[in-house]
A = this chain, B = another copy of it.
Amino acid sequence: MAKTTSMLPLLLLLATAATSAWEMNIRMPTDRLVKDGGAALIHALRPVLGSGGQLAARAGVACDSWRVGVEAHNVIGWKTVPARCEGYVGHYMLGGHYRRDSALVVDEAIAYADKLTLAGNGKEVWIFDIDETSLSNLPYYATHGFGATPYNDTSFREYVAEGSAPALPETRRLYRRLLEIGVKPVFLTGRTEDQRAITVANLRRQGYSGWEKLLLKPAVHAAGELQGSAVAYKSGERQKLQNAGFIIVGNIGDQWSDILGAPEGARTFKLPDPMYYIG
């Protein structure tokens, strides 16, 4: 058991130590972990503080119930992950569980997309959020309490400025499938215009290309701005797209504020994110 409990620091090390392409892959749980249900890694971790949440529940906080409450939009407006759930969320994010949950969402999205009948005029678009959707900031959050410590705008922007965020592989799989089908990707993000160059570089480096638009917030960044009215901003941008003749056939994000507010898009997909809440 001593060996088991020592695996989280190891994972943290793997998740944060390096920036090369190969080591980027290590930052995210591997595909093998996802496919075999994380037998090798999660099985060892789970009895200690697994994302099944038993031990966490006995500690007085049903962390898995809390996580599902977040995903189902019952738990809203929270500022930080409950302190006792930091370990739980860390295991969830770094083990195969997060990847499995993300893969299922993307499988549903692709199944939906594959059945679409396109008009042939190239007007169908699919909205992609960026952070925790197209790109993963897990390397940052792994060293910042997995959302259990208050959001630090300065240090997070420094991380973004590195342009080193890995792709969430599931989302990239959807992105590429949509390009094959003929649906045009549109990025719509709470990132601001001053972050455009590094965001483009980061996206390209991670295998994203051929997008129709990359929509960033025009306002000069002010501290805490990301906590503002994301629903109003993002639904407003979607309305402009619709007014310009685009058909929003799909919309995917990790926050409910990505996918709430008319026009939502013909179908919406909520990727898991137990680390932070943007209202």
A90 within 8 A of B: no
CA distance A241 to B6 in the complex (A): 57
A37 pairs with B58, CB closer than 8 A: yes
B57 and A52 within 8 A (CB): no
Q: Is the interface of A mostly helix, strand, loop or mixed?
A: helix
Cβ 8 A contact of A269, one of B74, B100, B269: B74
Tell me whether B36 and A69 are in contact (CB under 8 A). no
B104 and A74 contact, CB distance less than 8 A: yes
Could you tell me if A105 and B69 are in contact, using CB atoms closer than 8 angstroms? Answer: yes
- B-contacting 9-mer, from A17-25, A43-51, A144-152, A218-226: A43-51
Given A65-B103, A101-B65, A104-B69, the answer on whether A54 and B74 have CB atoms closer than 8 Å is no
8 A Cβ contacts from A64-78 to B: 64-66, 68-69, 71-75
Known: A46-B52, A65-B100, A104-B65. A58 touches B71 (CB 8 A): no
Question: Any chain B CB within 8 A of the CB of A62?
Answer: yes
Instruction: Tell whether, in the assembled complex, residue A54 and residue B68 are in contact, meaning their CB atoms are under 8 Å apart.
Output: no
Q: Which residues of B contact A42 (CB under 8 A)?
A: 54
Residues of chain B within 8 A of A57, CB atoms compared: 36-38, 100
List 7 A-B residue pairs with CB atoms under 8 Å apart, sorted by A's residue number: A38-B57, A39-B58, A43-B54, A62-B101, A68-B272, A71-B72, A73-B270
